Amino acid sequence: MFKKFSFEDISAQNQVKASVQRKIRQSIADEYPGLEPLLDDILPKKAPLIVTKCQNHLNLVVVNNVPLFFNIRDGPYMPTLRLLHQYPDVMKKFQVDRGAIKFVLSGANIMCPGLTSPGGALDEEVSGETPVAIMAEGKQHALAIGFTKISAKDIKTINKGIAVDNMHYLNDGLWKMERFE
Partner 1 sequence: MAEKPQAVRVLYCGVCSLPAEYCEFGPDFEKCKPWLRVHVPDLYPDLLKGEFAFVLFFLPSSLLIHPSIDVYSFLEAADADKAAQQLQSMTISGSGDAGTAPSGSTSASKQDEVKRLPGGKIKKKEKQEVVIEKIVRNKRKCVTVVKGLELFGVKLSDASKKLGKKFATGASVVKGPTEKEQIDVQGDISYDIVEFITDTWPDVPETAIFFIEDGRKVPAA
Residues 40-79, interacting with partner 1 (CB under 8 A): none
CA 63 centroid distance within chain: 17
Q: For residues 124 and 121, what is the distance between their CA atoms, to the nearest angstrom?
A: 9
* Residue 140 binds to partner 1 (criterion: CB under 8 A): yes
* Site for partner 1 contains 177 (CB under 8 A): yes
Number of residues that bind partner 1 (CB under 8 A): 30
Identify which range of 43-51, 86-94, 113-121, 126-134 contacts partner 1 by CB under 8 A: 86-94
Which of 3, 22, 57, 141 lies at the binding interface for partner 1 (CB under 8 A)?
A: 141
Residue 72 exposed, middle or buried by CB count within 10 Å (0-12, 13-18, 19+): middle
Looking only at Cα atoms, what is the longest distance across the chain? 49
Nearest CA-CA partner of 164 in 114, 102, 125: 114
- Judged by CB under 8 A, does residue 3 bind partner 1? no
The three-class DSSP label of residue 131 is strand
44 or 161, CB closer to partner 1?
44
Beta strands in 21-65 (DSSP E): 49-54, 58-63
Residue from the set 50, 75, 87, 154 that interacts with partner 1 by CB under 8 A: 87
Q: Which residues contribute to the site for partner 1 (CB under 8 A)?
A: 7-8, 10-11, 34, 37-38, 85-90, 101-102, 105, 136, 139-141, 143, 170-171, 175-181
